[in-house]
A = this chain, B = another copy of it.
Amino acid sequence: MTTLPTLNDHGSASHPQLRVNGKRLNQSLDDLAHIGQMDNGGICRLAFSPEDGQGRELVRRWMTEVGMTVRLDTAGNMIGRLPGRRALPALATGSHIDTVPCGGKFDGCLGVLAGIEVARTLQENALQMDHPFEVIVFADEEDTMIGSRAMAGTASLEVNDYRRKDGQPIDQCVQQVGGDWSRLALARRTRGEVCAFVELHVEQGGVLETAKTQIGIVQGVVGMQRYQIHITGRPNHAGTTPMDQRQDALVAAAQVVLAVNQLATEPPGQRVATVGALQVSPNAANIVPGKVIASLDVRDLDEAVIDKLVNDLKIELVAIAQRTHTHIEILPQLHVAPSPAAPHIQSTIADVCTSLGLSAMAMPSRAGHDALEMGRFTDMGMIFVPSEGGFSHSEVEYTSPDQCTQGANVLLETLLRLDQHYS
């Protein structure tokens, strides 16, 4: 491998003709999609399942075929690596190949297979980067995110802190794919080992499609705060209780839902806030509701924006409780800090799009990704391509072959430029 010409000999930015093989990339997406494919066209390749294992084997074969060394870390992450020309930290890309119970063939897989396609393109053009180049398949992105968390050192070592949807203990799961739970901490990496991580992913939303834009330059993965709001009124006969004697917990909850919506919508910005779940008691047509439990989910790139929304809401809750003669409590459930993308990676992606003649826009990633955790310890960037209709986590998830190819070309060129940047 060291006999290959280096990029400095070719100069990626001066090689605008260097492109991935789109046909081969999309063929790989199709091939991987056969593993776990359901009758309705959706993919069921749950993390740690036999299908996940078959997927990993196929990806390992492709990695090996392109000359990568492949290793498993103790968290069950599969890491393919091409050596670099110099003794530098790795430049990494990757994503995941596990799916939700009925997912699509692009979510995660595109990032992994585009990484492999980048390696293939380097290989067939006889190019070698200064930095070692890694493609990482993270374990269990769709549920516990144990893979990227372990690599970032943010994973708990307590098995009981994980509640996998299938009920299987996380230590057994990790063991099953060749990891080693007892030495999980060894999966942790640092900026000294990985100088930057860039992930290509489908948007899973409708922003790019609506804006008729080809590439999303991710500003960061938004932070999230989750709460439960407990509203206690008094259950009463819906016939015999006059309107002015009610303590209707649902009337209060309705005001909470609208207050949340207003606080998220009215000030300019990209924050989102959602009341997605509501439990009404006793939930009978002829009884004034006595108790409501509402969920609250708030996300933004800027933690201060989330904090402000929650604080403004708390003031509003006091007023609503007074108006409706109810008692309202707000209880924290979950807190994930935002993970900003490195500014120079964002500007590199923007420059690449200009070079390649692709339209691009800056946008937050409002869904969690492996890049979120990678951004905790190293420079992180993400490239989005459009999702048709904004659909994801569904068999109708679709990104066209051209869009996949465009995303992979942006990834290739971004990695080549970062290879120079970090040298």
* Residues of chain A whose beta carbon lies under 8 Å from any beta carbon of chain B: 203-207, 210, 222, 224, 226, 236-245, 248, 250-251, 253-255, 257-258, 261, 264-265, 270-278, 280, 283-289, 295-297, 299, 333, 366-368, 390, 392-393
Contacts of A253 in B (CB 8 A): 254, 257
Chain B contacts of A272 at CB under 8 A?
A: 238-239, 241-243
Q: Which residues of B contact A261 (CB under 8 A)?
A: 243, 248, 251, 254
**Residue in contact with A289 in the complex, picked from B206, B244, B276, B368, CB distance below 8 Å:** B276
**Given contacts A242-B207, A367-B239, A288 and B276 within 8 Å (CB-CB):** yes
How many angstroms from the CA of A288 to the CA of B296 in the assembled complex? 11
Q: Considering the chains assembled together, what is the distance between the CA atoms of A204 and B261 in angstroms? A: 38
> How many copies of this protein are present in the complex?
2
Q: Which of B239, B289, B333 contacts A366 (CB 8 A)?
A: B239
Please list 30 pairs of residues, one from A and one from B, whose beta carbons are closer than 8 Å in the complex, sorted by A's number. A205-B237, A205-B242, A207-B242, A210-B245, A226-B285, A237-B367, A237-B393, A238-B272, A238-B276, A240-B366, A240-B392, A241-B272, A241-B390, A243-B272, A250-B257, A250-B276, A251-B257, A251-B258, A254-B254, A254-B257, A255-B258, A274-B287, A275-B289, A276-B280, A276-B285, A276-B288, A276-B289, A277-B280, A277-B284, A278-B278
Chain B residue with minimal CB distance to A295? B285
Q: Closest residue to A288 on the B side, CB-wise?
A: B274
B250 & A368 in contact (Cβ 8 Å cutoff): no
Contact of B277 with A278 in the complex, beta carbons under 8 Å: no
Residues of the B chain whose Cβ atoms lie less than 8 Å from the Cβ of A210: 245
CB contact under 8 A between A240 and B204, given known A255-B258, A297-B286: yes
